[in-house]
Amino acid sequence: MNTARTVAEVRAAVRAARAAGKTVGFVPTMGAFHAGHLSLMRRARERSGFVVVSLFVNPAQFNDPSDLAAYPRDERADAAMAGAEGVDLLFAPEAAELYAPGHATTVIVRGLSDVLEGAARGAAHFHGVTTIVAKLFNVVQPDVAFFGQKDAQQALIVRRMARDLDFPLAIEVRPTVREADGLAMSSRNVRLTGHDRRRALALRAGLTAAERAIAAGERDGARIAEAAAATMRERGVAPEYFALVSADTLEPVDPLAGRILVAVAAPVGPVRLIDNVIVDLTA
């Protein structure tokens, strides 16, 4: 596996791969790889002749400077893991390579960016995500880009951006990878220890409570959210939000119908965790 630091190096490597008749798969990341990232790389390897992974902790999407400072970084370990998955090129630029002095352009997906995570963290979070992902799509020019369902809202927003801006690529969203006890894999999990690690299971418990209530026939989203939040509080975690919305538009649906995204965010010890499930009521 080669490591590129510049846009020019990536473009040259991708040009050579295309000249050799290969398709290009792309996994954008902020590093601190876990099994979720590796499953995206494995899928990219299956589907593409040339696999590019970007590793860039994007300052523009952090609303909290202390979260940015504490974000885990270990490029050497990440490179070893990506290499073992058969990744061809790791793009690990310095911030100045992607944000030149005077950088003045922001990509905004209105509406979808303003709710749930956008409301909790500020819409600038997703503006930072869409701007960097658009730039990376332009640099790598992949045939397929891979995202995780754990960041369901991000995946929806990126899909809308790619459609609206006519990026000539497919987006594949892959299932959330979980620890054996159900905790969704996240780079931030390494900062959870002891009691906090156990309390983190409250998010999964809340989602399971909501799934059970829906399976039992409940269709009042507010009632389900309140019961699920109570389940979480019994486990020592207060949700920042617990929402049941359309999985396609992120708008409230009352009574519940169609494809429902059940999404939760909560602070647990030093980190803020998110998780979600989709419940399909279309049948």
Among 30, 52, 109, 214, binds ligand PAF (CB under 6 A): 30
Per DSSP, the three-state class of 274 is strand
Contact with ligand PAF (CB under 6 A) among 25, 28, 93, 118 = 28
Residue whose CB is less far from ligand PAF, 39 or 154:
154
Select the residue interacting with ligand PAF from 151, 184, 261, 274 (CB under 6 A): 151
Nearer to ligand PAF, 109 or 232 (CB): 109
Positions marked active-site: 37
Nearer of residues 89 and 256 to ligand PAF, judged by Cβ: 89
Q: What is the DSSP string of 136-161?
A: HHHHH--SEEEEEGGGHHHHHHHHHH
CB of 152 to ligand PAF, least distance (A): 11
With CB under 6 A as the contact rule, the residue among 39, 48, 58, 186 that binds ligand PAF is 58
Are 273 and 200 contacting, i.e. CB atoms less than 8 angstroms apart? yes
The bridge status of strand 258-268 relative to strand 144-148 is unpaired
Q: Indicate the burial class of 71 (C-beta count within 10 angstroms; 0-12, 13-18, 19 or more).
A: middle
Closest to 127 (Cα-Cα) out of 114, 108, 112, 143? 108
Q: Which of 24, 32, 116, 129 binds ligand PAF (CB under 6 A)?
A: 129
Pick out residues in 68-127 that bind ligand PAF (CB under 6 A): none
Residue 274: phi and psi, rounded to 5, are -130, 155
Helix (H/G/I), strand (E/B), else coil: 56? coil
The span of 15-23, 26-34, 98-106, 249-257 binding ligand PAF (CB under 6 A) equals 26-34
Of the two residues 187 and 231, which places its CB atom closer to ligand PAF in the complex? 187
Q: Give the whole-angstrom CA distance, residue 119 versus residue 116.
A: 5
Q: How far is CA 34 from each of CA 29, 107, 174, rounded to the nearest angstrom? A: 11, 28, 14
157 touching ligand PAF, by CB under 6 A: no
Least Å distance, CB 248 to ligand PAF, is: 20
Q: Give the binding site for ligand PAF (CB under 6 A).
A: 28-30, 58, 61, 129, 132-133, 151, 154
